[in-house]
A and B are shown apart, each in its own frame.
Chain A
């Protein structure tokens, strides 16, 4: 996911949201707001969705009432898990070292 550039962070948020089930654009924005407090703009959201779709990390589902839901793919699950486990190791080391300052 390192090749996603400035869309890496939104991509992680989108994959995390889709790990909870398929969602369309507005549902993604609301869900990401709920678990991060960050609001993705529509331009940022779709730039990230397009990149994730190009990399087969997500796929689009048939349209429902003019809104197209997306779901995470098996490749996306593997990529997200690898990223989050790496982030957990980094967080663990960081928190342990910060404990020295407490």
Chain B
């Protein structure tokens, strides 16, 4: 009887198919023609009446949770930034490994946001929005942290070899102006980049959640 669910519109299946399929499995021993008629009426209702209503009931809470996760990630990154730039600064500026690990951690969180949003029943568009917003928030606030750290502890940060080399390549001038112009560019590029990654990774995480919830389980 689960084939009847194909009569429902895509947005409906996106939100309810997995749990309704589980329900039909529970009701399989009671299947009768009236149930087919009921499902047909439900499919018609979803296509013609319910479709006119708002159908994104769980997007709002999922977005709020995504922002909370983004704030936690930003707080962790801020601690990392202060530690690696102020408390234990590297004169050589060779922090490639830490930066790669930071990016991987952020990507993992963005995928997890999609996974959790899908488990809450958020639609694909809502999942993408959660990932994009989380990515943009992480990017924007992290640049904000860099702005504070680089300006408050300029005397420490300006000793990094990468900054010295960068200033020399830029033709000289003030270190503060050089750093802040880079941060200004970063304030545009980093949130946009993380929003794009967030969209893709959240959809990926959401797909994993749906795949896990729809695969048949072996009992016993």
Residues of A within 8 A of B (CB): 5, 24-26, 29, 41-47, 50-51, 53-54, 56, 59-60, 62-63, 65-68
Complex CA gap A34/B53 in Å reads: 31
Contacts of A51 in B (CB 8 A): 50, 53
Q: With an 8 A cutoff between CB atoms, is B99 at the interface? A: no
Contacts of B43 in A (CB 8 A): 43
CB pair A47 B45 closer than 8 Å: yes
Q: With an 8 A cutoff between CB atoms, is B20 at the interface? A: yes
A-B pairs with lowest CB-CB distance, top 6: A43-B42, A41-B38, A25-B23, A26-B26, A43-B38, A43-B39
Can you name the residue of chain A whose Cβ is closest to the Cβ of B38?
Answer: A41
Number of interface residues of B (CB under 8 A): 37
For window 89-129 of chain B, which residues contact chain A by CB distance below 8 Å?
Answer: 119-121
Contacts of A42 in B (CB 8 A): 20, 23-24, 27, 35, 38-39, 42
Taken residue by residue from 25 to 45, chain B's Cβ proximity to chain A (1 for < 8 Å, 0 otherwise) reads as 011000000110111111101
CB pair A44 B38 closer than 8 Å: yes
Residues of B within 8 A of A (CB): 12, 15-16, 18-24, 26-27, 34-35, 37-43, 45-46, 49-50, 53-55, 57-58, 61, 119-121, 213-214, 217
Other than the known A25-B26, A44-B42, A47-B46, what 11 A-B pairs have Cβ atoms closer than 8 Å? Answer: A24-B19, A26-B27, A41-B42, A43-B40, A46-B42, A51-B53, A60-B120, A63-B119, A66-B21, A66-B22, A66-B214
Q: Which of B57, B61, B217 has the most CB of A within 10 A?
A: B57
CB pair B54 A54 closer than 8 Å: yes
CB pair B119 A50 closer than 8 Å: no
Complex CA gap A60/B54 in Å reads: 16
CB pair A50 B24 closer than 8 Å: no
Pick from A47, A53, A65: contact of B42, CB under 8 Å: A47
Complex CA gap A47/B15 in Å reads: 12
Can you name the residue of chain B whose Cβ is closest to the Cβ of A53?
Answer: B57
Contacts of B16 in A (CB 8 A): 46, 50
Contacts of B12 in A (CB 8 A): 50
Q: Is the interface of B mostly helix, strand, loop or mixed?
A: helix
Q: Is the interface of A mostly helix, strand, loop or mixed?
A: helix
A20 to chain B, nearest CB (A): 19
CB pair A68 B42 closer than 8 Å: no
Complex CA gap A43/B27 in Å reads: 12
Contacts of A67 in B (CB 8 A): 19, 22-23
Can you name the residue of chain A whose Cβ is closest to the Cβ of B19?
Answer: A68
Complex CA gap A24/B16 in Å reads: 12
Complex CA gap A5/B22 in Å reads: 27
CB pair B217 A66 closer than 8 Å: yes
Contacts of B26 in A (CB 8 A): 25-26
